[in-house]
Amino acid sequence: VTDGDARVAEVDGLNARLRQDLAAEATAAARADAALARARREHVEHRLELDGFEHEQRLSAQAVAAILDLVLGSTLNPGQEQLVRLARRALADASSQHTPEVQGDDDAARAAVPVAQGFNLRRAVASVLRLLAPRTDKLGLELVARFSQDVPSRVEADRALLWRALTLIADFHVGRSHDDPAVYVNVMLAEVPAAERESHERTILFTVEDSGAALEPGQLATLFDPAATRELGSVGLAFARRLAEAGGGALSVEAIPDGGLRTTFALPAVRLKRVTVTTLYGRGALTEKAILVVDDVAHSRAVVSELISAWRLLPTAVASGEAALDALRSAARTGQPFDAIVLDRQMPELDGVQLLRAIRDDPAIGPQRILLLDTAAGQVRALPEDVRAMVGDVVQKPVVPSELLEALTVVLAPPRTPPQVTTRPVARPDPGRRPVKVLVAEDNPVNQMFVARMLERRGHHVTVAGNGAEVIDYLDTTPEPYDVILMDIQMPVLDGFETTAVIRERESRRPGRGRIPIVAVTAHAMKGEE
C-alpha cells in the first residue's frame, strides 16, 4: 500500500466522520426546531386560554354588575343599599385590574377549534346588547339591532365566538359614543353568487356603527397595534379580531364618510336552520290593528315598525312625545283611534312617563292600551304609581320579536269577563295524587336548579339532562318510563327540535309503547321565528 493510498483512505475516513457529525447536528437541529415550535404552540395556546379566561371573567363581572344594578333599583333599607353599593364598587375595582394584553401571535387562529351549536340568533344578539345596558343607560344612548329579512332566527354556528366578539366590538363603539343617541348593529347574510344563495351554510355579517369622533388615517391603521390599543381604547377590539380569526372569520374597521367608525365582523360557516315553530297566538286577533310607535331613534322606530307590519298590523311611527299627542288627538277627532301605543320610555324633551301623564290628562284622547319599551337596565325600575296602571306590558330593548309579539297580544287582548261568584266549595288538590317522574332537558345550570327545586318541592321526581344527547341516554337507561319531558328548545349537541324528532321517530317504530308527553320550554313562541 503506497503512501498515496493511505492518505486517500485517511481522507475518506475523515469525510465519513464529518458526514456523521453533520447528520448528528442536523438531527439535533431538527429536534431543537421541533421543540421550539412545540414551545411556541404551547405558548400561543396558553396565551389564548388565558385571554379567553380573562374575557369570561369580564363577562361574568358585567353580568354580576348588571344584577347589582337591578338590586339597587329595588326597595332597600339604607344598610342594604350601602352593602350593595360597596359590592358594586369592589367589583368595579377588581374588573379594572384585569384587562387582557393583546399579543401579536399569528398562530392564535390555529390554536382554537370552533364549536357549532343551534341557537336563536336574534335572542343571542339582544342578550349581548342588553348586557351593556347598564353602561349605555348611564351614557343616555341606545343599542339598536336590525336584521335583514333573509336572516333566519335560528342558526347553527359558533355561539361562544359570536358572544365574545360582539360584546367586545359593541363595547368599543359604546366607548366612542358619549354624545350620540345610539350605536347601530346590523345583521345580514354575506353576498354570494346566485347559484349559492339557496345553500344552508352561509357567512353572516355583523356591522356595528357609531358617529363618534373621526380618526386620523394613521390612527385607523394602528387600531390593532398592541403599542397603540390602550391609547385608542381598542384593546377589546384587537382581542375581538384575534377571536374572529381564530374561529375562521374576519374583522375589519373603516371610517364612515360623515364621521364615526364601522366595524364588520364575519361569522363563517353558519348553518341556517329552517324549523317552523307553531304559533301560540291567534294571528287573526291581531291583524289590521292600528299601532302608534313612538321612539326618538329612527333606527329603533324602523325595527319596531317592520316587525309590526310583518304581523299584518298597521304601524304609524312618530319621533317625539309631542308628535304622538298630535297623532292621538287627530285619530280621536276622525273617529279612528289607535288600538295600542308602543312607547319608548327614554326620549328627550317629553319622555315616556311625561307622555303617559299628558295622555291621561287630555280628555280628547281618551283611554289607551300602552306597551312600554325600556332598556334591560331600566325595565325593572318601578313606574310612578300615578301612571303604573296605564301600562299593559313592558318589553326590554333591544327588542326580540317573540317578546314584542307576546306583549302586544297581552295589551290587545279583550278585557276578561269577571267570573261569577257561586256558593260551590272550591275544589282542593287531591292529597293522594301520585308524584310525576319528570325529565328536565336544560343546559343552563341556574335554570336547572330552579326548575328542579320547584318541581321537587311539589313532590315530583326530577332528572336533569344538560343536552339532547343526555335525554336520549336517560330514556335508554332508565328502567321506569318518564311521565313527561320538559324540553328546552335551545341546547348544545342536540337541541330541543332535533331531540324531539329522534324520540318521535323511535316511538313510531314501537307503536305499542305510546308517546311520552314533551313540553317545549322557550321564550320563542311565534310563527316565523325559524
The residue ranges of DSSP E strands in 6-141, in sequence order, are 117-120
Confidence grade of residue 46 (pLDDT, cut at 50, 70, 90) = low
For residues 341 and 314, the answer to whether their CB atoms sit within 8 Å is: no
Mean pLDDT across the stretch 265-290? 64
3-state SS assignment for residue 218? helix
Predicted confidence (pLDDT) per residue in 408-440, tens digit: 888 887 765 544 544 444 444 445 567 899 999
Q: Which CATH architecture has domain 437-521?
A: 3-Layer(aba) Sandwich (3.40)
According to the model, what pLDDT value does residue 529 have? 44
Q: Average pLDDT for residues 293-298, to the nearest whole number?
A: 94
Higher pLDDT, 485 or 87: 485
Averaged pLDDT, 47-69: 65
pLDDT, mean over the chain:
79
Lowest mean pLDDT, pick from 136-145, 314-323, 412-421, 471-480? 412-421
Residue 171 identity (one-letter amino acid): D
Residues 88-112: tens digit of each pLDDT: 766 665 554 444 444 444 444 444 4
Instruction: Supply the pLDDT for residue 73.
Output: 73
What mean pLDDT do residues 328-347 have?
Answer: 94
pLDDT of residue 2: 67
Q: Region 443-449: what's the mean pLDDT?
A: 75
| Residue 415, pLDDT score | 63
Could you identify the residue written with the cell 486517500? 8
Q: So what's the pLDDT on residue 230?
A: 65
Q: The whole model's pTM is what?
A: 0.59
- C-beta of residue 423 within 8 angstroms of C-beta of residue 400: no
At 156 the pLDDT is 87
Bridge partner list, 154: 120
Statement: residue 524 has pLDDT above 90? no
CATH class of 283-412: alpha beta
Q: Which residues have C-beta within 8 Å of that of residue 407, sequence separation ≥ 6?
A: 371, 392, 393, 394, 395
Mean pLDDT of 464-493: 87
pLDDT in the model for residue 209: 93
pLDDT at 229: 63
pLDDT digits (tens, 9 = 90+) for 187-206: 999 887 877 766 678 899 99
422: which 3 cell numbers?
Answer: 257561586
Q: Which three cell numbers stand for residue 69?
A: 344594578
Kindly tell me the sign of the dihedral angle through the C-alpha atoms of 161, 163, 164, 167: positive
Does the pLDDT at position 217 exceed 60?
A: yes
Q: Which CATH number fits domain 102-272: 3.20.20.105, 3.30.70.20, 3.30.420.40, 3.30.565.10?
A: 3.30.565.10
The answer on pLDDT for 333 being more than 90 is: yes
